[in-house]
């Protein structure tokens, strides 16, 4: 017996145990692969009879599984010599299972997103009532649960920023930046937080890192200008405003910033 047929035999023997464990796709895939292997090989009479019986047993097991019948209510039939028809049924069943997995994944994702939004709102309610420890406990649990979600960290950081909890905002943004080191919007937000904290030198370093990644964002240059406004570095403020205008000549706020800088320098 060839290695291919030996593997097909093993797969057919695995069908019942896979079904008992609720592993429906591996069970169906095993039958499909075994039938394909059988079709590709030239079997001796005894080998064919053995495989036909194993396939009968496997299809019986598939039909007898109540959960699988909910996904695919049609009876799976098999007659020796009609392996191609069985192969078609297995392909249909695999497609039905895949669609179920996709639907369940969508439902799980929607439920997870709803839970995330509910917890964010709870945390926001505590922030609004200045119950900062309670808000922090909820947000920390969310971050722990969805640790790789840099957008979530940025969202929570924005909430802290609006509540003037700058140190909490900085901590989260710094974590998010480690997750996604090329995210310009994170550098921008960190710069804003540090500017409000009065740490102008560190804010400038983050902004310069962002500009090293991209220099064609007029709003980034404008925010750098805001930093230099608070820092009272009028020349650098004017340069930042000019760069923003070079990118977008219709940027009215940048034009006002440039005028202000020139007035301060004159």
Q: What is the DSSP string of 63-114?
A: HH-HHHHHH--S-----TT-HHHHHHHHHHHHHHHHHHHHHHHHHHHHHHHH
Say if residues 157 and 143 touch (Cβ distance below 8 Å).
Answer: no
CB atoms within 10 A of CB 136: 17
Q: Is residue 15 part of a domain?
A: yes
In angstroms, rounded to a whole number, what is the distance separating the alpha carbons of residues 127 and 164? 10
Say if residues 30 and 14 touch (Cβ distance below 8 Å).
Answer: yes
Question: Could you list the residue range(s) of the whole structural domain that residue 11 is in?
Answer: 3-104
Q: What confidence score (pLDDT) does residue 254 get?
A: 96
Q: What confidence score (pLDDT) does residue 264 get?
A: 92
Q: Is residue 30 part of a domain?
A: yes
Q: Is residue 100 part of a domain?
A: yes
Q: Is residue 80 part of a domain?
A: yes
Q: Is residue 120 part of a domain?
A: no
Q: Is residue 11 part of a domain?
A: yes
Q: Is residue 105 very low, low, confident or very high in pLDDT (cuts 50, 70, 90)?
A: low
Count of domains forming the chain: 1
**Does pLDDT of 127 surpass 90?**
yes
Distances (CA, A) of 202 to 163, 179, 199, 236, 251: 21, 20, 6, 16, 27
Residue found under tokens 């070079």: 246
Say if residues 84 and 39 touch (Cβ distance below 8 Å).
Answer: yes
CB atoms within 10 A of CB 266: 6
Does 24 or 262 have the greater pLDDT score?
Answer: 262
Q: What digits encode the pLDDT tens for the residues 44-82?
A: 888 888 888 988 898 898 888 888 888 788 888 888 888
SS3 47: helix
In angstroms, rounded to a whole number, what is the distance separating the alpha carbons of residues 55 and 51? 6
In angstroms, rounded to a whole number, what is the distance separating the alpha carbons of residues 116 and 151? 12
Q: Is residue 1 very low, low, confident or very high in pLDDT (cuts 50, 70, 90)?
A: low
CB atoms within 10 A of CB 59: 20
In angstroms, rounded to a whole number, what is the distance separating the alpha carbons of residues 42 and 47? 9
Q: What confidence score (pLDDT) does residue 102 get?
A: 73
CB atoms within 10 A of CB 188: 19
In angstroms, rounded to a whole number, what is the distance separating the alpha carbons of residues 234 and 174? 28
- Measuring CA to CA, which residue among 30, 29, 19 is closest to residue 62? 19
**Does pLDDT of 141 surpass 70?**
yes
Q: What confidence score (pLDDT) does residue 190 get?
A: 93
- Measuring CA to CA, which residue among 175, 223, 183 is closest to residue 200? 223
Q: Is residue 164 part of a domain?
A: no
**Does pLDDT of 43 surpass 80?**
no
Q: What digits encode the pLDDT tens for the residues 187-200?
A: 988 999 999 999 99
Q: Is residue 95 part of a domain?
A: yes
């Amino acid at each position: 017996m060839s290695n291919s047929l030996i593997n097909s035999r093993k797969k057919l023997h695995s069908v019942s145990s896979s079904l008992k464990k609720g592993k429906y796709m591996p069970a169906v895939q095993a039958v499909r692969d075994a039938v394909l292997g059988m079709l590709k090989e030239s079997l001796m009479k005894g080998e064919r009879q053995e495989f036909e019986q194993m396939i009968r047993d496997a299809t019986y097991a598939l039909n007898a599984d109540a959960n699988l019948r909910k996904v695919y209510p049609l009876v799976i039939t098999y007659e020796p010599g009609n392996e191609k028809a069985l192969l078609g049924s297995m392909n249909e069943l695999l497609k039905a299972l895949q669609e179920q997995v996709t639907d369940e994944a969508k439902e799980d994702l929607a439920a997870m997103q709803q839970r995330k939004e509910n917890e964010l709102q709870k945390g926001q309610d505590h922030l609004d009532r200045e119950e900062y420890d309670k808000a922090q406990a909820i947000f920390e649990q969310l971050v722990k649960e969805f640790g790789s979600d840099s957008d979530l960290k940025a969202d929570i950081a924005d909430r802290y920023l609006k509540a003037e909890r700058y140190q909490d905002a900085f901590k989260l943004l710094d974590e998010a930046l480690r997750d996604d080191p090329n995210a310009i919007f994170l550098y921008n937000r960190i710069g804003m937080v540090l500017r409000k904290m009065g740490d102008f030198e560190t804010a400038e370093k983050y902004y310069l890192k962002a500009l090293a990644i991209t220099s064609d964002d007029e709003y980034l240059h404008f925010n750098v200008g805001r930093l230099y406004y608070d820092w009272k570095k009028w020349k650098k403020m004017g340069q930042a405003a000019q760069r923003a205008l070079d990118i977008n000549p219709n940027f009215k706020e940048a034009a006002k910033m440039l005028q202000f800088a020139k007035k301060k320098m004159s």
